[in-house]
Amino acid sequence: MKVPSVVSSLLLLAGTTTVTAASVLGKSPHPASPHSQPQQLQQQQPLQATSEDAGSFADKHDLNRIIDQSPLLSFHRDIVKIESISENEADVGDFIIQFLQERDFKVEKQVIEETGSNNESKPRFNIYAYPASNGPPKILLTSHIDTVPPFIPYSLDLPTGSASAGKVRREDILISGRGSVDAKASVAAQVFAVLEYLEKDPDASLGLLFVVGEERSGTGMKYFSQSPLNTSPPTFHTVIFGEPTDLALVSGHKGALVFKVTAKGQAAHSGYPWLGRSAVSAILPALARLDQLEDIPVEDGGLPSSEKFGKTTLNIGHVVGGVAPNVVPASAYAEAIMRLAVGDVDLIKEIILKAVHDSTGGNEDVTVEFINNGTGYPPVDFDTDVDGFNVTTVNYATDAFHLHLHEGSGGSRHGRVRRYLYGPGNILSRTATTRGCLCGRLRRQFGGTRS
């Protein structure tokens, strides 16, 4: 198989996945069921290529039935309904494993030794799967099954003004729920892209890797990377990472560095503040300076930028200080994350340390700790050598940095593994007020399935 043609086909399938009549109307609710009869299947066209979809109406109170008619959207609904905030991914993982095993996939449940903070937490595991008859994959599609908190239940709704005379177009249904975009849309798209490609070419060497902990520290991908499954040389020659990219190929994403600023003081009654030292007062000059760094010229101690990624940005996302209004605070801290546009992580650390030192007058009660043993990471570049796709860069980070690629490609000591970043949805939808997207857009983007 030629890499560009197969990759292009998989990417296109993830954008316009089609299903068969038997998949929708037969006994199995999903395509590639072990009970399917290939000779009875009739290939259908992508949803967006049909004219009848514009007229496919349903009662607005029967939205779930509309989702039921699409194997892709119903699978997406099933996994979004299962809460999988980081450290609680077991239930959705078990669901996906059962789904794949019923379709003759060999599934390796890669149990991670690390457990959640709750002693009663279920085991955490990655999912590594490929057709049982085909052996380890040459092309690996990967995404993550954990989400950020809080859990937001799956729901269907109608945007204002979409209904007409009690009817609604399927395209206008709004799907909401935590993970409906990041990244369970990619999970569903990759599963169905692989299933459909295997219907056309049963011998295709394709595999899936779904990891845990991406939203925290990349626990799942780090574990896979250090495991025997990540062979040397790599058995795979291509990895497709699934994240919300609006169906554009990403040429690179920014790096990241997380740090914590801590201030120590001395508690006292607020009526007698001179008897104590305010940790909040000590930390405020540092935070004010850090908050301005991205707009300060480099020669004046500001953060560097690059032509490809633009500014290096800094977000102070969590601040804690004191215990009560009438007590001089004895402690305070702030946590921040940086999105790095340049590759010199040590230079960025020096800029942070100098900014805190200078802004506080060298106050030894104000200190900086770089999280994860200071192992921030530089921007990551990806391949874009597939025609027919828009190309862009993104400001968020992914698991790609945590996957160490050994020398070689496809079982050979020669060559290198190609990496692509591609997926449905917009990253901004993850934290937007609605936290969802139009059903029509979702279907077009991560698998427009004619039902």
Q: What percent of the chain has pLDDT over 70?
A: 79
Contact 214, 221 (CB under 8 A): yes
Q: Please, which pLDDT band fits residue 396 given cuts at 50, 70 and 90? A: very high
Bridge partners (DSSP) listed for residue 42: none
Backbone torsion region of residue 233, taken as left when φ is above 0, otherwise alpha when ψ lies between -120 and 50, otherwise beta: beta
Contact 221, 211 (CB under 8 A): yes
Residue 97 has pLDDT above 70, yes or no: yes
Bridge partners (DSSP) listed for residue 258: 337
- 164-167: Cβ within 8 A, 24+ apart: 166/59, 166/60, 167/57, 167/58, 167/59, 167/60
What CA–CA distance (Å, rounded) separates 69 from 89? Answer: 27
Residue 144, amino acid: H
Residue 406: both structure tokens together: 């050994």
Annotated catalytic residue: which of 199, 214, 215, 243?
214
Average pLDDT over residues 116-139: 85
Residue 383: both structure tokens together: 């391949």
For Cα atoms 66, 141, 187, give the angle at the middle one, nearest 5 degrees. Answer: 30
pLDDT of residue 377: 93
pLDDT of residue 114: 58
Contact 174, 158 (CB under 8 A): yes
Q: Which residues contact residue 387 at a Cβ distance below 8 angstroms, ignoring those fewer than 6 apart? A: 4, 8
pLDDT of residue 437: 57
CATH topology match: 59-253+379-445 vs 255-374: no
Mean pLDDT of the chain: 84
Q: Please, which pLDDT band fits residue 318 given cuts at 50, 70 and 90? A: very high
pLDDT in tens, 220-269: 999 999 999 999 999 999 999 999 999 899 999 999 999 999 999 999 99
Residue 109, amino acid: K
Range from 30-39, 42-51, 270-279 that averages highest in pLDDT:
270-279
- Which residue ranges make up each domain of the chain? 59-253+379-445, 255-374
Q: Say whether 407 is catalytic.
A: no
* Candidate from 120-124, 167-171, 254-258 with smallest mean pLDDT: 167-171
State how far the alpha carbon of 213 is from the alpha carbons of 59, 116, 367, 443, in Å: 40, 10, 28, 27
E strands, 105-203, where? 105-112, 124-131, 139-144, 155-157, 167-169, 174-176
Residue 74 has pLDDT above 50, yes or no: yes
pLDDT in tens, 179-201: 999 999 999 999 999 999 999 99
Contact 17, 73 (CB under 8 A): no
The bridge status of strand 167-169 relative to strand 255-264 is: unpaired
Q: Which CATH architecture has domain 59-253+379-445?
A: 3-Layer(aba) Sandwich (3.40)
Residue 120 has pLDDT above 70, yes or no: no
What CA–CA distance (Å, rounded) separates 393 from 254? Answer: 8
* Candidate from 18-22, 256-260, 391-395 with smallest mean pLDDT: 18-22
What CA–CA distance (Å, rounded) separates 351 from 290? Answer: 10
Nearest one of 394, 355, 400 to 377, comparing CA atoms: 400
The 10 Å CB-count burial string (b at 16+, else e) for 368-395 is bebeeeeebbbbbebbbebeebeeebbe
Q: Please, which pLDDT band fits residue 53 given cuts at 50, 70 and 90? A: very low
Average pLDDT over residues 11-40: 41
Q: 352 in helix, strand or coil?
A: helix
CATH number of 255-374: 3.30.70.360
Q: Please, which pLDDT band fits residue 407 given cuts at 50, 70 and 90? A: very high
pLDDT of residue 448: 29
What CA–CA distance (Å, rounded) separates 363 from 305? Answer: 29
Contact 371, 262 (CB under 8 A): no
pLDDT of residue 401: 94
pLDDT of residue 15: 59
Average pLDDT over residues 141-166: 83
Residue 372 has pLDDT above 90, yes or no: no
pLDDT in tens, 337-366: 999 999 999 999 999 999 999 999 999 999
**Alpha-carbon radius of gyration of the chain:** 25
Contact 282, 363 (CB under 8 A): yes
Q: Which residues contact residue 246 at a Cβ distance below 8 angstroms, ignoring those fewer than 6 apart? A: 392, 424, 425, 426, 445
What CA–CA distance (Å, rounded) separates 380 from 124? Answer: 27
pTM: 0.83
Q: Which residues contact residue 201 at a Cβ distance below 8 angstroms, ignoring those fewer than 6 apart? A: none
Range from 33-47, 117-131, 171-185, 275-289 that averages highest in pLDDT:
275-289
